[in-house]
Amino acid sequence: MNLERKIKIIKRKRIEDSRGWFLKVINGFEENLPQFTGEIYLTMATPNQTKGCHFHNKANEWFTLLEGNCLVKLFDLGTNERLEIILEADNPQTLYVPNNIAHCFINLNDNSNFLLLAYTDQLYDPADTIIFNDFDKPFSNDRILNK
């Protein structure tokens, strides 16, 4: 079999709106994956925009900022604890967010985008993405990491 038949080029769809874009890199249905693979995706936020603001009952996620910087707001639905974390591409870190932790990513920059790479251990299920909008309430126990 020649090389052209061995490789695969898989079309992807980038979803764009006024906040930025979203691109799923691995959707878990590709040929030759291990028995189970979750999803890998990229999301971009334009200046001063917010992405996420939801939680999952099942899915666990890992996030690595590739460009820019952002503020991550977290809320533990089990303990009501709130936490804020600064992620910076110049200081690479991967943030693990288990299920039942609401998460929101805010691009604080006025003139540059952020680019976030994410992995989830579950295939997309719209019923497992639950909107959470209580991030705007003041944090009574403000804790900011990496600042």
pLDDT in tens, 98-120: 999 999 999 999 999 999 999 99
pLDDT in tens, 10-65: 889 999 999 999 999 888 888 888 888 899 999 999 999 999 999 999 999 999 99
pTM: 0.82
Coil, helix or strand for 87?
A: strand
Place of tokens 């979750």: 38
Give me the domains of the chain, ranges plus CATH numbers.
9-138 (2.60.120.10)
E-assigned strand segments in 3-120:
14-17, 20-26, 39-45, 50-55, 61-67, 69-76, 82-88, 94-97, 101-106, 114-120
Rg (CA), the chain: 17
Angular region, 17: left φ>0, alpha ψ -120 to 50, beta rest: beta
C-alpha 39/C-alpha 27 separation (Å) is 5
C-alpha 66/C-alpha 133 separation (Å) is 26
